[in-house]
Structure 1
């Protein structure tokens, strides 16, 4: 895939290196000449331009990109670049970085954003996941909460322990994606038995998420 990244700071360059390592073509865009550290990501394309300007995005040939990552340190820039990428160039997938949690509510489809990434929220979720047993913990949201990746760690008292996957009826719009047990990741099958300490990963709607605890705890 060809992927454009608006913002060539530490975050943008780190994303670029990861994507290049996975075999993708990457274009880094930044208006600050000091950010263009070509030697740091030598296999990427670089463009000195403002990602909020149509002329710059024309030059970047954004209509030929399958993904746009808005990764600058300025939420206003990320919102504008995302909106232009989706509405003017029809980029199929737009991912945007949220710098300030108070702005997170704006990072949705109305601004052309398919997935928003808030570092504080992710860190908070990971902390909760590490210490919460018997609670439903939201790890990540897809399409602004239309579907969520959630986790439940089963306590010793969980009502589902000893039952098979096939015996536990999930709420509508919820799917059990994986069971993490000790050092193993298990792809759930109907005959697999739930045991205390299992970490269950679900993809679920917000409504289904609220019902999951009653099914397992």
Structure 2
């Protein structure tokens, strides 16, 4: 509420001194707040999202209330032709021109071309221009403008937004999924961390109460038994890069891991071991295992022996970050850490290099090769920028 009050005061104060300067003042205040080290940053961001959704919903309803259905009927077939030209000709042309180069694949460019629902901005601008046209004594032109714009919005929202997932699947641009079996406290906590990193997380859970809790937090949840091959397939196991068995039952976790390995072969399979005595049995079967008991003990030990590091690790995803990425950029291959270091973003370091299954802390003369996996540590934004440099397809 304090932030909202500050935004209103900034707007009103700026308007008092200079007409139409309120929006610029609020935007400036927002940039200053976003770059300031303030507490409760996540709470402020969530509140901002809720307020934005509420205001946009109100504005959209208010603008749509000014539209009469007769405007759409008057446009008729001409309006559909305009929608077709905008959606099928103009947008793809603009997308391909603005994304010229190798940063995006052809499939990603086509996806951006065909999924571009219009919304509040064109509706607001069209309504403003319509008022101006009516004031100039041109009501027919105003009706034509409003009707055409809202027809474009209606059709693109219904068809493009509604079919976005199917279009993405057809163009094969859906990012590889992280499949988490078990939506309990551990599964939800893991899903939240992965989601904050931008991963495409899907949960599998068969308890209705837990399903509801997970969906309330915004996660995609498939209802079913994670030990059922068809349930795994329906949840996207065939496209999953990582499968995590995180239930409270070790037998279920082991079975899920074995099914994922034998039927879907994702890059990474991890299983939660609730009983530390089961860790050896899991690993003998080739399942990479995380013991809940040992992980908790290690976390406590870190806070005792390495409190600064433990506190910093607890902030990963907010201020700091640690990421592992494969080296594919020609700018890095064949160069030493000494040469690469000055080129890294400020606040980012190469902490570890893995090659052929062995990991080591590199010295200044260590030469990177294609396929090396480097661990980057530093500020969140700096690490993300470095990841894009090391692996341009990221």
Q: TM-score range by the shorter chain?
A: 0.5 to 0.7
Q: Which has the larger radius of gyration?
A: 2
Deviations 1:96-117 (A, max 9, x none): 111011111122262x52x311
Moved over 2 A (4+): 38-41, 122-132, 173-177, 187-190
Number of residues paired by the alignment? Answer: 138
**Alignment partner, residue 192 of structure 2:** 17
Q: In 2, Cα distance between the equivalents of 1:126 and 1:189?
A: 31
Gaps of 5+ in 1: 133-172, 178-186, 191-217
Q: In 1, Cα distance between the equivalents of 2:299 and 2:220?
A: 34
Q: CA deviation at 1:122?
A: 2.6
Q: In 2, Cα distance between the equivalents of 1:79 and 1:116?
A: 9
Q: CA deviation at 1:124?
A: 3.2
**Alignment partner, residue 193 of structure 1:** none
Q: CA deviation at 1:78?
A: 0.4
> Does the C-alpha gap of structure 1 residues 101 and 25 become closer, same or farther in structure 2, counting only changes over 3 Å?
same
**TM-score w.r.t. structure 2 length?**
0.32
Aligned pair partner of 2:236 in 50, 61, 70: 61
Given that residues 86 and 92 in structure 1 are in contact (C-alpha distance below 8 angstroms), is that contact kept between their aligned partners in structure 2? no
Gaps of 5+ in 2: 1-175, 307-356, 366-394
Aligned pair partner of 2:206 in 31, 36, 51: 31
Given that residues 30 and 51 in structure 1 are in contact (C-alpha distance below 8 angstroms), is that contact kept between their aligned partners in structure 2? yes
Give the secondary-structure state (helix, strand or coil) at the position aligned to 2:265: coil
**TM-score w.r.t. structure 1 length?**
0.56
Q: CA deviation at 1:23?
A: 0.8
Instruction: Name the structure, 1 or 2, with higher relative contact order (CA <8 Å, separation 6+).
Output: 1
**Alignment partner, residue 100 of structure 1:** 275
Give the secondary-structure state (helix, strand or coil) at the position aligned to 1:4: strand
Aligned pair partner of 2:296 in 123, 133, 141: 123
Given that residues 176 and 188 in structure 1 are in contact (C-alpha distance below 8 angstroms), is that contact kept between their aligned partners in structure 2? no
Superposed CA RMSD? 2.5
Given that residues 70 and 96 in structure 1 are in contact (C-alpha distance below 8 angstroms), is that contact kept between their aligned partners in structure 2? yes
Given that residues 16 and 41 in structure 1 are in contact (C-alpha distance below 8 angstroms), is that contact kept between their aligned partners in structure 2? no
Q: CA deviation at 1:128?
A: 5.2
More helix by share: 2
